[in-house]
Structure 1
Amino acid sequence: MTKTKQILNLALPAMVENILQMLMGVVDSYLVAQVGLVAVSGVSVANNIITIYQAIFIALGASCASLIAKSLGQKDSQKTNRFIWDSILITVGLSLLLGLISLLAGKSILNLLGTEAAVTEASSLYLALVGGGILFLGLMTTFGSILRAQGKPRLSMNVSLIANLLNALLSACAVYIFHWGIAGVAGATVLSRLIGTLILWQAMQLDRKTIQITKPFNRELFNLVLPAAGERLMMRAGDVVIIAIVVKFGTEVVAGNAIGETLTQFNYMPGMGVATATVILVAHSLGSQKKEEIRSLVAASYWISTGLMILVAGAVFLFGPQLTGLFTDNSRAVDASMVVILYSFMGNPVTSGTLIYTATWQGLGEAKMPFYATTFGMWVIRIFAGYFLGISLGLGLAGVWIATVLDNLFRFIFLYIRYQKYMKTI
């Protein structure tokens, strides 16, 4: 099997699943936009917190997939089984913690962003409901990662499709029939994820008699999960600070930025799908002692990811005004959305590099390097440059997105150079 086929066999189902998960957010944003700009701004701000949770679960899932794939490459079934159950246990514990934070401290966290009172109220309601039920998103993410590592990526994809169809149906009923607004959309999201979780659990057919939990904890898993989750946390927490900068430009720009980010999420789906495949294939090659394959896998992953991302981003850019018009007819919000779409398109090659080389390091079992790169890139380059360009120099939202491209450029170069040096040592 060629490298391209190997990558695409894993990447395409993961890509479709990522798109389906993002569609859930698009459906929510579209339906909430029918309520008004305050509502869509509120959900946007709350989703920046939810996205932090989701990013942590994605990092956890990638770490689990990496270690499960490596143990499968080593043909160690006992270790594979232990990694599966440890992953589920960690997901449940982490989800319960994040759910409590959403319920008990969500409004206090949102108040720190300095949004208008009406936007904060809308945000806190959505965060309490969706964040309080975050367990089901966590379990769906982990179950999907386990299935992909076992070579069953289409099963998780099919369940995501079912969950999204349910979410669209239930959310539409909540808004148009029952007029429940934000609460109805949030409730539909949680319920559809609960149903998806139950279907995946049944499909996995795990024998509870085989439960093996590492005591006191799985050091190998934690050594990979903690820096990987820390990297995502630094990224998403930084995004919240960026939103605090964007808030300075007004509610209309916040809404336009939210709409633009909702649309450009599709630009990154091919890269995220290929990155998922890269983690698994690199880890499997490492476990099978086929280290000579890693270089060709990584190179192929980058070019496949970049090509697909440019195609999708080009389509979003071409139809940007029409797509934005589905959400709002406010001219300032439309202009802000197009700024996001433009810079997302221009930055795709370096964003692709950041995604693929982050995945490569995770597959190699060395998640600390992306953590260092993201921490510096986000908190030193993106935030400071975003504030300086956007506010101090008066470039507005364009300044914030120029800083975003600079951050991704730095991380791509840093991770690539360190990777080349590392490969000479193994």
Structure 2
Amino acid sequence: MPAMAENVLQMLMGMVDSYLVASLGLVAISGVSVAGNIIAIYQAIFIALGAAISSVLARSMGAGDQKSQANHATGALTMTLLMSLILGLISLCFGQEILSLLGTEKLVAEAGGIFLAIVGGTIVFLGLMTSLGALVRTTGNPRLPMYVSLLTNVLNAFFSSFFIFILDWGIVGVALGTVLARLVGVVVLWKSLTISFAKPSWSLDRELLRLSLPAAGERLMMRAGDVVIIALVVRFGTQAVAGNAIGEVLTQFNYMPAFGIATATVLLVARSLGQGNREEISQIARKSYWLTLGFMLPLALLIYAFGTPLTQLYTQDKEAVAASLLVILFSLLGTPFTIGTVIYTAVWQGLGNGKLPFYATTIGMWGIRIGTGYLLGVTLGLGLPGIWAGTLLDNAFRWLFLGLLYKKRIGA
């Protein structure tokens, strides 16, 4: 429950940013939306690293190995800082060029480039919040990261509103509000750590690297594919981009139970594996799926029922509203598939096998989602419905792929 609430609060920050940016016009919300998809790639990489941190640390705790715990904690911070440096430099040096390559209009690319340079250039704060949160959560304090997320949301809303409506700093103000709020979150989490650290070294944690690289690769394939999907949506016009962005912001809340329970699933599976209790893992997987469905389906139905008034909080443009409602509908239809994909990915990561989710996502995203989306949406002219039909097929494939292989392993 704390992990679920934390995910909801993290997404609420993006929702608040989108709402504030919406006051600046469709060009601004489109630019920040496209930039947000690049930042989502970064966030996905750090989430994957956080899952790997939780897995290796929970396994060490299950085995009672304190020296290994200290080594993993130090390795986690080292890898976080290294990734942040690389991603931050990419954002600062090539941000606007990346958005232009996606086919966005000049004004949209300029608006998004500003946001990406500021938020992406200081991505170290998001990275540290994710990794420190994983350390704090795994070592027995799952509620604190939730409280920190609540704090950063309140600060983000305050800072961003002040910079936009009082100082009139526009997109720069929204970006600075996000950065400052995350900085405060990093400080609070750092001061709350109770785990011991090993002496820093230039070598990377091999066990953490072995699990985090496939997990990061899986997230990278997913988010990079999302950027390609956005490039396809751009073909349908600014209204379609804005409506698609608003729909995705609203439906993010559908997925929060899945991501929260997946976090717990990784921890529980890894701890059971460390204790040698393999029979419990199947029960964890089964309960995780049905528990997620019980939380996620009512949320999806609620957002679908109130889709129009929720979308109109962002824009009154009829084409953008229609595009947003389409996204909400497809999100509802794909609920069972999405849950299966997320939960079985978490199970395999908890088992220490990040390669299978990587293979499933690479094939599903690049072979099915993008291929089907291009065929239906662009070639056959179905537009946005064709793009989202590809998304449903992708999630269905990955659920079957990961679920059947897991059942085969258990049967063996």
TM-score, reference length from structure 2:
0.99
Aligned partner of 2:29 in structure 1 is: 40
Aligned partner of 1:383 in structure 2 is: 370
Aligned partner of 1:234 in structure 2 is: 221
Q: Secondary structure at the match of 2:143?
A: helix
2: CA distance between counterparts of 1:168 and 1:343?
Answer: 30
Task: Evaluate the alpha carbon distance shift between residue 213 and residue 192 of structure 1 in structure 2; reply closer, same or farther with a 3 A threshold.
Answer: same
1: CA distance between counterparts of 2:320 and 2:360?
Answer: 33
The answer (yes or no) to whether the contact 1:235–1:378 under 8 Å persists in 2 is yes
Matches within 5 A, 1:345-364: 345-364=332-351
Which amino acid in structure 1 is aligned with residue 276 of structure 2? Answer: Q
2: CA distance between counterparts of 1:363 and 1:306?
Answer: 20
Check if 1:337 corresponds to 2:321. Answer: no
Give the superposition deviation at 1:55.
Answer: 0.2
Q: What do the CA deviations read for 1:128-182 (whole angstroms, capped 9, x no partner)?
A: 0000110000000011111221121101110111011000011111111111110
Aligned partner of 1:7 in structure 2 is: none
Q: Secondary structure at the match of 1:81?
A: helix
Q: Secondary structure at the match of 1:243?
A: helix
Which amino acid in structure 1 is aligned with residue 305 of structure 2? Answer: L
The answer (yes or no) to whether the contact 2:22–2:28 under 8 Å persists in 1 is yes
Aligned partner of 1:158 in structure 2 is: 147
1:416 maps to which of 382, 390, 403: 403
Q: What do the CA deviations read for 1:258-292 (whole angstroms, capped 9, x no partner)?
A: 00000000000000000000000000000001111
Q: What do the CA deviations read for 1:300-342 (whole angstroms, capped 9, x no partner)?
A: 0011112211011111101100100100000000000000000
1: CA distance between counterparts of 2:140 and 2:182?
Answer: 23
Gaps of 5+ in 2: none
Check if 1:272 corresponds to 2:259. Answer: yes
2:394 maps to which of 407, 410, 417: 407
Q: What do the CA deviations read for 1:59-88 (whole angstroms, capped 9, x no partner)?
A: 000000000001100011110111111001
Aligned partner of 1:397 in structure 2 is: 384
Check if 1:91 corresponds to 2:80. Answer: yes
- Give percent identity, aligned residues only: 57
1: CA distance between counterparts of 2:283 and 2:227?
Answer: 37
Q: What do the CA deviations read for 1:94-131 (whole angstroms, capped 9, x no partner)?
A: 11110011001111211110111000000100000000
2:307 maps to which of 320, 334, 342: 320
Aligned partner of 1:125 in structure 2 is: 114
Aligned partner of 2:14 in structure 1 is: 25
Which amino acid in structure 2 is aligned with residue 269 of structure 1? Answer: M
2: CA distance between counterparts of 1:156 and 1:310?
Answer: 25
2: CA distance between counterparts of 1:384 and 1:117?
Answer: 27
Which amino acid in structure 2 is aligned with residue 147 of structure 1? Answer: V
2: CA distance between counterparts of 1:251 and 1:88?
Answer: 40
Give the superposition deviation at 1:214.
Answer: 6.3
1: CA distance between counterparts of 2:351 and 2:411?
Answer: 13
Q: What do the CA deviations read for 1:198-240 (whole angstroms, capped 9, x no partner)?
A: 0110111455xx4334663221111100000000000000000
Which amino acid in structure 1 is aligned with residue 344 of structure 2? Answer: Y
The answer (yes or no) to whether the contact 1:354–1:411 under 8 Å persists in 2 is yes
Q: What do the CA deviations read for 1:12-69 (whole angstroms, capped 9, x no partner)?
A: 1111111111111111100000000000000000000000000000000000000000
Check if 1:306 corresponds to 2:293. Answer: yes
Check if 1:288 corresponds to 2:256. Answer: no
1: CA distance between counterparts of 2:250 and 2:382?
Answer: 22
2: CA distance between counterparts of 1:422 and 1:152?
Answer: 33
2: CA distance between counterparts of 1:91 and 1:405?
Answer: 33
The answer (yes or no) to whether the contact 2:136–2:189 under 8 Å persists in 1 is no
The answer (yes or no) to whether the contact 2:30–2:108 under 8 Å persists in 1 is yes
Aligned partner of 1:5 in structure 2 is: none
Which amino acid in structure 1 is aligned with residue 264 of structure 2? Answer: A
Q: Secondary structure at the match of 2:199?
A: coil
Check if 1:183 corresponds to 2:197. Answer: no
Give runs of ≥4 in structure 1 deviating > 3 Å: 212-215
Matched residues, number:
412
2:160 maps to which of 123, 147, 171: 171
Which amino acid in structure 1 is aligned with residue 375 of structure 2? Answer: F
1:55 maps to which of 22, 25, 44: 44
Give the superposition deviation at 1:196.
Answer: 0.5
Which amino acid in structure 2 is aligned with residue 256 of structure 1? Answer: G
The answer (yes or no) to whether the contact 2:269–2:350 under 8 Å persists in 1 is yes
Query: Greater shift after overlay, 361-370 or 109-118?
Result: 109-118
Check if 1:216 corresponds to 2:203. Answer: yes
When the two chains are superposed, the root-mean-square deviation of aligned CA atoms in Å is 1.0
1:247 maps to which of 234, 252, 262: 234
Aligned partner of 2:95 in structure 1 is: 106
Aligned partner of 1:6 in structure 2 is: none
Gaps of 5+ in 1: 1-11
The answer (yes or no) to whether the contact 2:229–2:370 under 8 Å persists in 1 is yes
TM-score, reference length from structure 1:
0.95
Task: Evaluate the alpha carbon distance shift between residue 285 and residue 206 of structure 1 in structure 2; reply closer, same or farther with a 3 A threshold.
Answer: closer
1: CA distance between counterparts of 2:348 and 2:201?
Answer: 25
The answer (yes or no) to whether the contact 1:25–1:262 under 8 Å persists in 2 is yes
Check if 1:194 corresponds to 2:183. Answer: yes
Aligned partner of 1:81 in structure 2 is: 70
